Amino acid sequence: MATINTAVVGAKFHPGAFDALFKAEGGDVAELVREPGNKFDPNAVRVHVAGVMCGFVPKHCAVRLAADMDAGKTITAKVYGTKIEIEVREKDDD
């Protein structure tokens, strides 16, 4: 299992993002969504909290994370304000 601790980036561009991030209790689940059609980064990974698009995983983390997601690894994410903790597990580790 690998753990990535990073920040959610771009929240200021998404209405309601800060409200959703800070309403979440520390450790609430975030949904990560691949966005391969993103014109700025084909490895983009969106962060959603309580159904609200809150921003992205930073580009330097998204390169590895996108490959893990595409490989079918188990990804879980927890949000702590504007910070996010992402766990990546092999399918067999479930």
Q: What is the pLDDT of residues 12-39, one digit of tens each?
A: 999 999 999 999 888 899 999 999 999 9
In this prediction the pTM is 0.92
Q: What is the distance between the alpha carbons of residues 56 and 60, in angstroms, rounded to a whole number?
A: 11
pLDDT digit string, tens, across residues 50-79: 999 999 999 999 999 999 999 999 999 999
Q: Is the dihedral of CA 69, 84, 78, 81 positive or negative?
A: negative
CATH of domain 2-89: 3.30.70.2330
94 band by pLDDT with thresholds 50, 70 and 90: low
